[in-house]
Structure 1
Amino acid sequence: MTEVVIVQPYLPRYRLPFFDGLFAALRADGVKLRVIAGEASKEQAQRGDSALASWLEQVPTRTFSVGSRNLNLTRTSHLWRDSDAVIVPHQGSSLDALLATVGRHPRRVGVWGHIASYTSPLNPVDGAIERWQLRHAQHVFAYMPGGAAFARGHGVPAERITTVMNTIDTTSLQAALARTTSADIAAFREQHDIPDAPYLSYVGGLDRSKKVDVLADSLDVLHSRGSDVHVVVAGRGEQEHLLRPAAARGQVTLVGYADVDTKAVILKGSAAIANPGRVGLIAVDALTARRAIITTQWPWHAPEIEYLRLNESLIMPRDNAADFADALETAIQSTNNTMPIEWPAPPRMEAMVANFRNGIIALITS
């Protein structure tokens, strides 16, 4: 049986349905899949989204900082040395990715991830290494079309690129949204003492990448104006404390980590989603719930922002607290006066699994 190994830094909870589906799809092809991951970092653990699974081979994570550069020195090559193919993160700072792509060996190598530099400025050393990885891997798995275009622009033939169309499983959220009633929303409001007026939602980790400080500063601006904008926040993270002053003033309701039913109630009851920092897979939730995302013109959004349409499902004021506050206020005030949006269907997990499976078959048969 052909053995394929996928390596990633850690296993987030949202990846479980993807890997479950991929295991089943490849089993039907006579391919044995193994998944190896490190441990969640402190910041990732604080978000509460790390997971374990019976099929996961977890290894201790080793990291080392050199100035502003964080090196992932986790070494798993002894676990996939005899495999037919390995797919490693496309990261210049990853020892595993470097070991997989150097030297001569019969093993097929794939790289997967953003591919283009979406979420942070690229260190010149990492950039050079990542372009080298693209040239020396036998297949590239790009999350979204922008990453695939970047790979083509750096000389990777189209037949060696799979556009994954990265997503999360929307089945449970769609079902929860469908069964959520106005009475459920009213009961949730009463339980959490949410004002009986339009509100905005925030769903996700409360860390630096989400620019929680901008949300907190915007709420300060709105408080100084006497605005009645209210935000219901579902999530945990290291910057949760920044929102506590607004919560004490009654501008914010903090509900902590939300299960799918709670998330459905929050999203369905909200006028829009406030997310000043990195827009990533929240874009899929937005399409599923048919709620626009209000973010900022920050240059480091994740690839999944490509699912959204500017000035329809995506509102992007300038990256400062005053303009973000204006956008939040406008969203509340225009709740009943917005033009109807033609919402595209959210990307399906089944399609992502099929795309990745096709890429793996291309990798091992090319």
Structure 2
Amino acid sequence: MKKVLIIQTLVKQYRVSFFEQLDQALKSEGIQLRVAYGDPTEAERQKLDNVELSSEIGLKVQNYWFLNDKLLYQSLWTEIFKSDLVIVEQASRHILNYFLLLFSTLKLKKVAFWGHGWDRQAETPKFSEWIKLKTINKVDWWFAYTEGTAKYLKQCGVPKNIITVVQNSIDTEEFKQYLLNVTSEDLERVREKLKLKNTDKIGLFCGGLYANKHWKFLLESNHLIRQSIPEFKLLVLGDGPDRQQVIQTVNQHPEVLYLGSKFGYEKALYFRLSDVFLIPGLVGLAILDAFVAGVPVVTTDIPIHSPEIEYLIPEINGFVTEHNQQEYAHKVINLLLDEQGLTQLKSGALDSSKHYNVETMVNNFKEGILKALLK
């Protein structure tokens, strides 16, 4: 039986279904999957979205951090040598990666990268990005997040025939069921609890509370939106390092409701209540929750978005404005006042959700693994 090892720093809640389904898909091909991972750093722990895998799939190891969490070592030599293919994050902080790149060069081990291609959140060029660029073409296979990632890889000289576009996604089926189970009585109960009127226009933010999400920009834009739409209310869902700052700011604005982290059915309730999904900062996989709920996304044209920003098609399932509060607020105001246009965007968002799902990602990943093993 062929063995595949995926090495992760940690495991996020949204990845569990993917790993479980990939495990089953590979078993049907006579391939064993192991996912090695460790505990999160304190900064990651504060996001409250880290989980553990079952022992059948997961292998919990000790994370050894150095240089103020800039370098990571995981002792996985036994698993590495037992595996036919090792898939690692394309991250320069992983000490093991440098040994694996050497093994790949010497044809001692098949190694694959899984990643974005470059750090979209880096404000200035870093030494770590230089390392990524120098090693980008030193593996046997590439699992690219999106078509945009694949395009970048090809520009950097990575052969097209060793790139698999996985179409990064999450398991939206469970969330879809939660949304379908929300009743009009449930919505009325939540409106009463939050003191919302049926005529209120609702904006929703759902995500991590940290600087790159530009939550301050959103709260300032909220003030401008309310000047034109007094019945506008903003719901903020999420947690993170900036939680206390958000609470302190929100306390000064009664029209903004901070509700903390919400999951499953509770999260579905708030998505069903909302007219628009407002995320002026970094857009990631949360965009798929919005699409499944049929809620159009409004963001800004900043360079730090994750690859999933490619899924947003302006005037089809959302909008991208200049990173300017007046422009952002103006777009949201026009959208909320255009009932026909808003309905069309909601329909477009729902239609987009059909193209991005974990089943497609699992199949793409499986096919890439099969090809990599044959290489």
Same fold (TM over 0.5): yes
Q: CA contact under 8 A between 2:62 and 2:74: conserved in structure 1?
A: no
Question: Alignment partner of 2:174: what SS?
Answer: helix
The answer for the alignment partner of 2:3 in structure 1 is: 3
Question: Alignment partner of 2:33: what SS?
Answer: strand
Q: 1:135-146 alignment to 2 at 5 Å?
A: 135-146=137-148
Q: CA contact under 8 A between 1:288 and 1:346: conserved in structure 2?
A: no
The answer for the alignment partner of 1:286 in structure 2 is: 290
2:105 counterpart of 1:106: no
Provide closer, same or farther for how the CA distance between residues 336 and 180 of structure 1 changes in structure 2, counting only shifts above 3 A.
farther
Moved more, 284-293 or 36-45: 36-45
Question: Alignment partner of 2:212: what SS?
Answer: helix
The answer for the alignment partner of 2:240 in structure 1 is: 237
Query: Given residue 254 of structure 2, which amino acid in structure 1 is its aligned partner?
Result: G
Provide closer, same or farther for how the CA distance between residues 251 and 141 of structure 1 changes in structure 2, counting only shifts above 3 A.
same
Provide closer, same or farther for how the CA distance between residues 122 and 58 of structure 1 changes in structure 2, counting only shifts above 3 A.
farther
- Displacement of 1:223 after TM fit? 6.3
The answer for the alignment partner of 1:74 in structure 2 is: 73
The answer for the alignment partner of 1:219 in structure 2 is: 222
Q: Using the alignment, how far apart are the partners of 1:325 and 1:8 within structure 2? A: 39
The answer for the alignment partner of 1:309 in structure 2 is: 313
- Displacement of 1:5 after TM fit? 0.6
Question: Alignment partner of 2:344: what SS?
Answer: coil
- Displacement of 1:199 after TM fit? 0.7
Q: CA RMSD in A?
A: 2.2
Q: Using the alignment, how far apart are the partners of 1:2 and 1:283 within structure 2? A: 35
Q: Using the alignment, how far apart are the partners of 2:355 and 2:75 within structure 1? A: 35
Q: Using the alignment, how far apart are the partners of 1:132 and 1:79 within structure 2? A: 28
Q: CA contact under 8 A between 2:62 and 2:75: conserved in structure 1?
A: no
Provide closer, same or farther for how the CA distance between residues 29 and 128 of structure 1 changes in structure 2, counting only shifts above 3 A.
same
Question: Alignment partner of 1:11: what SS?
Answer: coil
Aligned to 1:201, which of 189, 200, 204?
204
2:187 counterpart of 1:188: no
The answer for the alignment partner of 2:373 in structure 1 is: 364
Query: Given residue 78 of structure 1, which amino acid in structure 2 is its aligned partner?
Result: W
The answer for the alignment partner of 2:20 in structure 1 is: 20
Q: Using the alignment, how far apart are the partners of 2:138 and 2:195 within structure 1? A: 57
* CA distances 1:48-93 after superposition (whole Å, capped 9, x unpaired): 1100122322233333458xxx623223342433122211111223
The answer for the alignment partner of 2:35 in structure 1 is: 35
TM-score normalised according to structure 1 size: 0.91
- Displacement of 1:221 after TM fit? 4.5
2:355 counterpart of 1:349: no
- Displacement of 1:123 after TM fit? 3.4
Query: Given residue 51 of structure 1, which amino acid in structure 2 is its aligned partner?
Result: V
Q: CA contact under 8 A between 1:220 and 1:246: conserved in structure 2?
A: no
Q: CA contact under 8 A between 1:205 and 1:235: conserved in structure 2?
A: yes
Aligned to 1:156, which of 155, 158, 180?
158
Moved more, 136-145 or 187-196: 187-196
Q: CA contact under 8 A between 1:229 and 1:329: conserved in structure 2?
A: no
Question: Alignment partner of 1:268: what SS?
Answer: helix
Question: Alignment partner of 1:165: what SS?
Answer: coil
Question: Alignment partner of 1:283: what SS?
Answer: helix
- Displacement of 1:138 after TM fit? 0.3
Query: Given residue 21 of structure 2, which amino acid in structure 1 is its aligned partner?
Result: G
Gaps of 5+ in 1: none
The answer for the alignment partner of 2:279 in structure 1 is: 275
Q: Using the alignment, how far apart are the partners of 1:62 and 1:320 within structure 2? A: 41
* CA distances 1:154-175 after superposition (whole Å, capped 9, x unpaired): 2222220000001000101111
Q: 1:105-124 alignment to 2 at 5 Å?
A: 105-121=107-123, 123-124=125-126
Q: Using the alignment, how far apart are the partners of 2:229 and 2:315 within structure 1? A: 27
The answer for the alignment partner of 2:259 in structure 1 is: 255
Say how many residue pairs are matched. Answer: 363
Q: Using the alignment, how far apart are the partners of 1:23 and 1:317 within structure 2? A: 40
Provide closer, same or farther for how the CA distance between residues 358 and 102 of structure 1 changes in structure 2, counting only shifts above 3 A.
same
Provide closer, same or farther for how the CA distance between residues 251 and 330 of structure 1 changes in structure 2, counting only shifts above 3 A.
farther
2:172 counterpart of 1:173: no
Q: Percent identity?
A: 26
Q: Using the alignment, how far apart are the partners of 1:47 and 1:158 within structure 2? A: 36
Provide closer, same or farther for how the CA distance between residues 193 and 336 of structure 1 changes in structure 2, counting only shifts above 3 A.
farther
Provide closer, same or farther for how the CA distance between residues 145 and 12 of structure 1 changes in structure 2, counting only shifts above 3 A.
same
Query: Given residue 274 of structure 1, which amino acid in structure 2 is its aligned partner?
Result: L
TM-score normalised according to structure 2 size: 0.89
Moved more, 238-247 or 129-138: 238-247
Query: Given residue 260 of structure 1, which amino acid in structure 2 is its aligned partner?
Result: G
- Displacement of 1:346 after TM fit? 4.1
* CA distances 1:200-240 after superposition (whole Å, capped 9, x unpaired): 11111111221122123323555677844211122111212
Provide closer, same or farther for how the CA distance between residues 331 and 237 of structure 1 changes in structure 2, counting only shifts above 3 A.
farther
Query: Given residue 278 of structure 1, which amino acid in structure 2 is its aligned partner?
Result: L
- Displacement of 1:39 after TM fit? 1.8
* CA distances 1:321-345 after superposition (whole Å, capped 9, x unpaired): 3333333333433345536244332
Moved over 6 A (4+): 223-226
